[in-house]
Each structure stands twice: as structure tokens, then as C-alpha cells.
Amino acid sequence: MPIYEYEHDAAGGCAERFEAFQAMADRPFEKCPKCGAACHRVVSSFSVQGGGKAGLLSRSNLEAHGFSQFTRKGKGYYEKTAGAGPKAISDGR
Ligand SMILES: [Zn+2]
């Protein structure tokens, strides 16, 4: 199960931040289970890189990390949409 990090909405409360094991499908806590103060989930730094799924697969991000991206344009035919390499590849059939 992933660990989620929580922060109190306002200063005060029992601690500034706490962590909780939760399933992905679980609703996030709205109140601190210890002191009852309002809290909110904060996104851990490791999951913010690239700004989410769309960002990770964006052309600029792919190229920045040296990836090439090919998009299927037909049966066995792929056209390059990002990065280095041939303009198009096909499996020769
Ligand atoms: Zn608290």
C-alpha cells in the first residue's frame, strides 16, 4: 500500500505532517485522526516529477530524457512523434 503524506490545514494540531498507509481507492482523511484538526493530503515529491501522466509522455519530456516515441499509423507502420531515430519504421510486411 502506498504511504500518503498529510499536512494540517492550519498551524497547530498535533504535528505538522503525518503519514498514513492507505489503499489507492481509500478516501483521503479530511481530519487528523489524532487531534481532529482539518488536514489535507499532500502529493509526495516522487510522484510530481513530470507533472503527471500527460506530462511524462509529452513530447518535450520524452526528448529531454532521450526517449523516442513512435505512433502506430497503420498495420506494421509507425511514425516518429518524438525524439531521435528514423522518421518512420515498419516491420516490412
Ligand atoms: Zn493532528
Q: How far apart are CA 33 and CA 37, in angstroms?
A: 8
Ligand 1: centre distance to CA 30 (Å): 11
Nearest to 38 by CA among 71, 19, 13: 13
Strands (E), 3-84: 3-8, 17-21, 39-42, 69-74, 77-82
Residue 47 is predicted with a pLDDT of 46
Ligand 1: centre distance to CA 26 (Å): 19
Q: Is 53 helix (H, G, I), strand (E, B) or coil?
A: helix
Residue 56 is predicted with a pLDDT of 67
Ligand 1: centre distance to CA 7 (Å): 9
Ligand 1: centre distance to CA 88 (Å): 56
pLDDT averaged per 10 residues, the chain (length 93):
83 81 84 89 59 65 80 86 86 73
